[in-house]
């Protein structure tokens, strides 16, 4: 699928994106074979673990992650609700996986993490009782698609470097707009259209809702979205469409940046992955004479400094707001965040003490 789409993509400039939408609607030749990833029978142990934030996402190969995602769609009743052809679901998932790049962080495993956390939150917060099956389908599909074809360089880079994506989307959430466009490009293939049996009016609403959620993952909009939710949370009304949309936006945001909710041994490797991607970007920005964000600069950032502010000022306030609506997340999701904050603050104290010791030694050497 990726090769086919790339071959139709025409010339690409600078920070490349897979698809060239200016082409006059050439139809792609869809794959007609039955998807080849093996059918794994998930053990009862895996099925139970899949519902929890403690799930070890590093333990699985791509094929196994595809089987887990497939299981989630069946288990939530989405295959039945949308009358999906199970083979089409397999093909769609394969098409999704093919269109995540091999970035250090924004890759298919990150997509799986976010989707698995969403599945876990649906169970933990008993969302099946509060939201419709259509809402479940929107939440899961947006999670699966939310970073499709991410190039590994963020919106700030796209805009400053005036890439093809930034020009196409007029500097307005270029990446998130691209993720949406790629998601619906894949769904436009008949062989991959999991919503083929949904009536056109319902599909229009699903499409709009998925776009709204993926666009909500742009961290530039974090304050605006969280403030909007804070205004609603004390008198939250599950029958109010605007309230429910706002909740869904906050849920996908929580899942997107939820690594620190996971056990330390699962969460910490992700920090290394993210810093690797950040350093790739800042090195490129330096070489191209573009502005460099201090939190991405390998000369200025450490693991503890990268995490402490983010956990204290972004993660904990957001999850504590969600906790007002779903108190059951405190023990399983909020407490691990507080523990993680304490863990990184201890590491920072050790780092600071080491730095101080080196300074003292250097002064002693100079004095001698």
- Cβ burial of 360 (10 Å; 0-12, 13-18, 19+) is exposed
The pLDDT value recorded for residue 3 is 54
In a domain, 138, yes or no: yes
Mean pLDDT for 303-328 is: 97
Residue 149 among known ligand-binding residues = no
For 42-84, what is each residue's pLDDT tens digit? Answer: 999 999 999 999 999 999 999 999 999 999 999 999 999 999 9
- What are the b/e assignments for 14-23, b being 16+ CB within 10 Å? bbebbbbeee
Structural domain span for residue 154 = 44-274
The pLDDT value recorded for residue 25 is 36
Q: Residue 361: which pLDDT band, with cuts at 50, 70 and 90?
A: confident
In a domain, 307, yes or no: no
Residue 147 among known ligand-binding residues = yes
* Cα–Cα distance for residue pair 340/260, rounded to 1 Å: 7
In a domain, 357, yes or no: no
* Least confident stretch, 216-220, 335-339, 357-361: 357-361
Q: What angle do CA 69, 273, 179 make, to 5 degrees?
A: 50
The pLDDT value recorded for residue 179 is 98
In a domain, 203, yes or no: yes
The pLDDT value recorded for residue 154 is 98
The pLDDT value recorded for residue 39 is 65
Please confirm, yes or no, whether 150 is among the known catalytic residues: no
- Cβ burial of 241 (10 Å; 0-12, 13-18, 19+) is exposed
Q: Residue 41: which pLDDT band, with cuts at 50, 70 and 90?
A: confident
Count of H-run helices and E-run strands, the chain: 19, 0
- Indicate if the pLDDT at residue 356 is higher than 60: yes
In a domain, 54, yes or no: yes
CA quadruple 128, 129, 131, 134: dihedral, nearest 10: 50
In a domain, 329, yes or no: no
For 206-249, what is each residue's pLDDT tens digit? Answer: 999 999 999 999 999 999 999 999 999 999 999 999 999 999 99
The pLDDT value recorded for residue 14 is 39
Residue 307 among known ligand-binding residues = yes
The pLDDT value recorded for residue 21 is 41
The pLDDT value recorded for residue 358 is 79
Residue 83 among known ligand-binding residues = no
Give 296's DSSP letter. Answer: G
For 100-109, what is each residue's pLDDT tens digit? Answer: 999 999 999 9
The single residue of 59, 62, 74, 106 carrying the catalytic annotation is 106
Q: Residue 15: which pLDDT band, with cuts at 50, 70 and 90?
A: very low
Residue 256 among known ligand-binding residues = yes
Residue 123 among known ligand-binding residues = no
- Indicate if the pLDDT at residue 143 is higher than 90: yes
In a domain, 342, yes or no: no
Q: Residue 359: which pLDDT band, with cuts at 50, 70 and 90?
A: confident
**Percentage, residues of the chain above pLDDT 90:** 84
Residue 24 among known ligand-binding residues = no
**Percentage, residues of the chain above pLDDT 70:** 88
Q: Residue 5: which pLDDT band, with cuts at 50, 70 and 90?
A: very low
Mean pLDDT for 17-32 is: 42
Give the number of domains in the chain. Answer: 1
* Least confident stretch, 40-49, 128-137, 200-209, 350-359: 350-359
In a domain, 75, yes or no: yes
- Indicate if the pLDDT at residue 30 is higher than 70: no
The pLDDT value recorded for residue 11 is 35
Q: Which stretch of DSSP H or E encloses residue 363?
A: helix 335-367
CATH of the domain at 101: 1.10.1300.10
Q: How many CB atoms lie within 10 A of CB 307?
A: 25
Closest CA to 42 of 68, 78, 4: 68
């Amino acid at each position: 699928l990726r090769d086919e789409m790339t071959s139709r993509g025409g010339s690409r400039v600078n920070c490349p994106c897979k698809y060239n939408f200016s082409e006059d609607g050439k139809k792609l030749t869809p794959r007609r074979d039955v998807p080849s990833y093996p059918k794994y029978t998930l053990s009862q142990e895996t099925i139970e673990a899949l519902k929890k934030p403690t799930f070890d996402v590093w333990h699985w190969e791509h094929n196994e992650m595809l089987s887990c995602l497939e299981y989630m769609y069946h288990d939530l009743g989405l295959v039945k609700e949308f009358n999906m052809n199970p083979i089409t679901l397999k093909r769609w998932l394969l098409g999704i996986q093919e269109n995540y790049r091999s970035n250090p962080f924004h890759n298919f495993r990150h997509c799986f993490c976010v989707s698995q956390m969403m599945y876990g939150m649906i169970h933990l917060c008993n969302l099946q009782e509060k939201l419709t099956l259509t809402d479940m389908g929107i939440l899961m599909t947006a999670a699966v698609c939310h970073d499709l074809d991410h190039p590994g360089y963020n919106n700030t880079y796209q805009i400053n470097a005036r890439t093809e994506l930034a020009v196409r989307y007029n500097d307005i959430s270029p990446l998130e707009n691209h993720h949406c466009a790629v998601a619906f490009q894949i769904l436009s293939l008949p062989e991959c259209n999991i919503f083929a049996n949904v009536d056109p009016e319902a599909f229009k609403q699903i499409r709009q809702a998925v776009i709204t959620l993926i666009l909500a993952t742009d961290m530039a909009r974090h304050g605006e979205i969280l403030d909007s939710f804070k205004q609603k949370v004390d008198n939250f009304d599950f029958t109010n469409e605007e309230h429910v949309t706002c909740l869904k936006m906050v849920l996908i945001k929580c899942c997107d940046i939820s690594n620190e909710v996971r056990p330390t041994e699962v969460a910490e490797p992700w920090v290394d992955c993210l810093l690797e991607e950040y350093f790739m970007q800042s090195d490129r920005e330096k070489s191209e004479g573009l502005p460099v964000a201090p939190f991405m600069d390998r000369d200025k950032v450490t693991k503890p400094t990268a995490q402490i502010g983010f956990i204290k000022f972004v993660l904990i306030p957001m999850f504590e707001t969600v906790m007002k609506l779903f108190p059951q997340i405190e023990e399983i999701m909020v407490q691990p965040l507080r523990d993680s904050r304490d863990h990184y603050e201890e590491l920072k104290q050790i780092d600071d003490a080491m730095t101080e010791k080196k300074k003292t030694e250097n002064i002693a050497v100079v004095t001698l």
